[in-house]
Amino acid sequence: MTTTNYCLIKKNKLYEDLYEILEDEELIMDNVNHKEKIKYKIEQLTKLYFNDKIKISKNFNSSTESLEDLMIEIADNIENEEKKNNLQGNTLLMYADNDAMYEIVFMEEVGIENLDLELNQMASISNIELAPIYGNIAIIKTLYNNNQLVNSQITNEDVENLIMYNFYHKGVMINSDEKMFELEFSGDNPNIIIGGKFKQLAPFQMFGLMLVGYNEEGQELNKLATKIFGSEIKGRFYLTTMCPITNKRFWNLDIQILNNIIKLINYSMGTIEEKKQIENINNELSEDKLKNPFFLIKKYSV
């Protein structure tokens, strides 16, 4: 029997708390030499939050039981019964990759302006809309299993990673010899890591993702980068992605995801059956603009 759970995140000042620590320690996100110290500080702050602001629920035998329980927990900090009755549940995508997706479940009072002191900073900086979210929230995890979305158990490690992903993002460097390796950057400026010689190219849509490429021009044709970008690339090529649907922030792109994308590109030039896979993924994306493209890319590339 598959069991599921959720992670309760009480209202917090995660963003303020972190930057107060960085200011006190004179650490700067954009300074490459500060990276390991900053990541350590984020890990330590997360551990403190587990003592007070973050709680992993017990396991439930069904998603219905889990959802009912988390709704009670989310509304627990609201004392006004009339206000409780006026709340409605909502979800926003928080993060997704090649294996799973995480969603924020929250309650909102329609037409009411909330006070900033009720702001849940972790939830607000984590969702793909970058929308302000107030009060307690819950995070649920869904796995991709045999081309199906399956409710799963979220762990402490998941939550630690989700917090870190708000500040650090992976991209893939493609050399002219087609060798690939991952490079991590902070904020919204990969050039701090890859170097100033890399020039950003026009972002392009592919299989539901907004991909952003950076090219360090060279003499040798980069065949793999050319195949991905769709026009000639010479020299090294660094590829990143924005969050799906809204494209409001950088997300992680790793070699595993990129290899799946390359498979689909090859399918588009392959057999009738392979071309059918491309048609299927494009149909699903066109029918549902809120579809998780990471799930679809994995579904149709294996």
Give the integer Cα–Cα distance in Å for 49 and 41.
Answer: 12
Ranges of H-type helices in 51-208: 63-74, 81-85, 121-126, 156-165, 191-194
279 Cβ partners below 8 Å, 6+ apart?
Answer: none
Would you place residue 82 in the very low, low, confident or very high pLDDT band (cuts 50, 70, 90)? low
- Up-side HSE of residue 266: CA atoms within 13 Å toward CB? 10
Nearest in space to 214 (alpha carbons), one of 266, 256, 250: 250
Give the integer Cα–Cα distance in Å for 101 and 294.
Answer: 9
Indicate the domain borders of the chain: 7-165, 169-301
| pLDDT tens digits along 92-150 | 999 999 999 999 999 887 666 666 778 999 999 999 999 999 999 999 999 998 888 99
Sign of the dihedral through C-alpha 87, 89, 90, 94 = positive
| pLDDT at site 291 | 85
| pLDDT at site 75 | 80
| pLDDT tens digits along 55-66 | 999 999 888 888
* Span of 35-49, 55-69, 210-224 with lowest mean pLDDT: 55-69
Sign of the dihedral through C-alpha 60, 62, 65, 66 = positive
Work out the end-to-end distance of the chain between its first and last CA atoms, rounded to an integer number of angstroms: 26
| pLDDT at site 196 | 94
DSSP letter for each residue of 60-76: BSSHHHHHHHHHHHHGG
| pLDDT at site 10 | 94
| pLDDT at site 78 | 62
Read off the pLDDT of each residue in 201-221 and give the average, rounded to a whole number: 96
| pLDDT tens digits along 222-279 | 999 999 999 999 999 999 999 999 999 999 999 999 999 999 999 998 899 999 999 9
pLDDT at residue 50 is higher than 90: yes
pLDDT at residue 83 is higher than 70: no
Q: Nearest 5°: phi and psi at 20?
A: -70, -40
Give the integer Cα–Cα distance in Å for 141 and 4.
Answer: 8
pLDDT at residue 38 is higher than 70: yes
**Element spanning 107, H or E:** strand 100-109
Share of the chain above pLDDT 90, in %: 79
| pLDDT at site 86 | 67
Give the integer Cα–Cα distance in Å for 158 and 206.
Answer: 27
